[in-house]
Structure 1
Amino acid sequence: MGQMLELLLQHKIVAILRGIEDRHADAAGQALIDGGIHMMEITMNTEGAAVMIDRWRAKFGTKAAIGAGTVTDVALAEQAVAAGAQFLISPNLDEEVIAYGIERGISVWPGVMTPTEIVKAWKAGAEAVKIFPMGTLGISYLQEIRGPLNTIPMMATGGVDLHNIADYFKAGANAVGMGGKLVNLEWIREGKFEQVTERARQFVEAVREL
């Protein structure tokens, strides 16, 4: 088992930062770490993502694993890895990206929806998959596919909130990816970093209680 997968299964939450402005990124990252978050991804469709990933590796490297999200093809994978991303997450299944990660010892967790895609990703060498979009698919969908596909680590992304996070894990999620419900960009832009930390702490606590 790779180090990043171990961290994923241990800490169970990946914070997703999409559309964050560079000037707020460091304070936001620190606020999440202060709240107990150990894994953070900056999506590659965020302006200046590679620059921020590079800086976060230097700044937060001993406190959190830093990855890249929305890695939809090999070109973006190359940019992310050059910036120091320790794991790559995508909304789609691109077997070339998985192969690229395997060659370099970088964890790739592709986005999948159907049982066919899940098994395809697993056979291509993905050590975990991201079930997406969970907000639309719903928890019962996860429960149904979990029965026959019980050996593949699954990160559920979409629709997770404080009131339902326990249900995601009961349905079979090994981890969750969380964007706006965890990382409130309005708070960040208004400098309310204590609220960001407190929200992170609430989610970390909810997972710990499981």
Structure 2
Amino acid sequence: MGDATSINEMLEKLLEHKIVAILRGIEDDTADGAAEALIEGGIQLMEVTMNTAGATTIIERWRTKYGNAASIGAGTVLDVDYAKRAIDAGAQFLISPNLDEEVIAYGQERGVAVWPGVMTPTEIVRALKAGAGAVKLFPMGTLGIGYLKEIRGPLDTVPIMATGGVDLSNIRDYFAAGANAVGMGGKLISLDWVKEGKLDLVTERARHFTEAVRDL
């Protein structure tokens, strides 16, 4: 088995900082500027999705450059092959839209946190039995906050990261409904701003979100 301590520490970091920035389709030559802007805005966890061109290259570089300032993970980790590539590149946590027990087991072997995607109560319990420390409830934009409130009744102890539909006007509602953390892509980081070099706007928006969850 891998290092359970690092898995638990990553979960604690998720629960403390409450926001995972999702970088999907970021271009390699602008990625570092985006990372620095997010970190400056207070973001502590960043995932590069594995369907981003050059994802493993970016993850490896970010671990070296920003490992002291933020935790770097991989997203869209659909199966063990993706998990192996992500962890070999240095990913500290793995997130997926789906539940694959083999990925959870592999993460435990390597001492890397895995937060799988789930939708139903059955999937949530399956994920916990397989050893996941937290789950990603997805797609929250479609399921809605009411759904999260309902499943929180019987499933009141599982750490849930809600992903989809989160913006500045409703982020507090997500936590009031029972979310422990949120995953955020385009509503947090505009790739247009990154391409145009408007990194101060990226930092400013990130700061608005990190301040919104600081007192929760």
TM-score by length of 1: 0.99
Superposed structure 1 runs of 4+ greater than 4 Å apart:
none
Q: Which consecutive residues of structure 1, in runs of 5 or more, have no partner in the other structure? A: none
Find the aligned partners of 1:65 and 1:209 in 2 and give their Cα distance.
21
Paired letter, 1:122 = L
Is the aligned partner of 1:149 residue 2:149?
Answer: no
TM-score scaled to structure 2, two decimals? 0.96
Secondary structure in 1 aligned to 2:21?
A: strand
Matched, 1:19 2:25: yes
Counterpart-to-counterpart distance in 2, 1:179 and 1:147? 28
Selected match of 1:31 from 37, 42, 49: 37
Query: How much has 1:27 moved relative to structure 2?
Result: 0.3
1:49-88 per-position Cα deviation (integer Å, ceiling 9, x unaligned):
0000000000000000000000000000000000000000
Alignment-derived partner of residue 178 in structure 2: 172
Per-residue CA deviations over 1:112-165 (Å, capped at 9, x if unaligned) read 000000000000000000000000000000000011001110000000000000
Q: Report the CA distance between 1:104 and its aligned residue.
A: 1.0
Local SS of the residue matching 2:52: coil
In the other structure, the counterpart of 2:169 is: 163
**In 2, distance between residues paired with 1:189 and 1:52?**
16
RMSD of equivalent CA atoms:
0.6
How far apart, CA to CA, are the structure 2 residues paired with 1:38 and 1:209? 16
Among 56, 77, 84, the alignment partner of 1:50 is 56
Which amino acid is the alignment partner of residue 35 of structure 1? G
Structure 2, unmatched stretches of 5+, are: 1-6
Tell me the residue number matched to 2:16. Answer: 10
**Percent of residue pairs bearing the same amino acid type:** 73
Residue 209 of structure 1, CA deviation: 3.0
In structure 2, what is the equivalent of residue 194 of structure 1? 200
What is the alpha-carbon distance in structure 2 between the residues aligned to residue 144 and residue 106 of structure 1? 30
Residue 101 of structure 2 corresponds to: 95
Deviation (angstroms), 1:47: 0.2
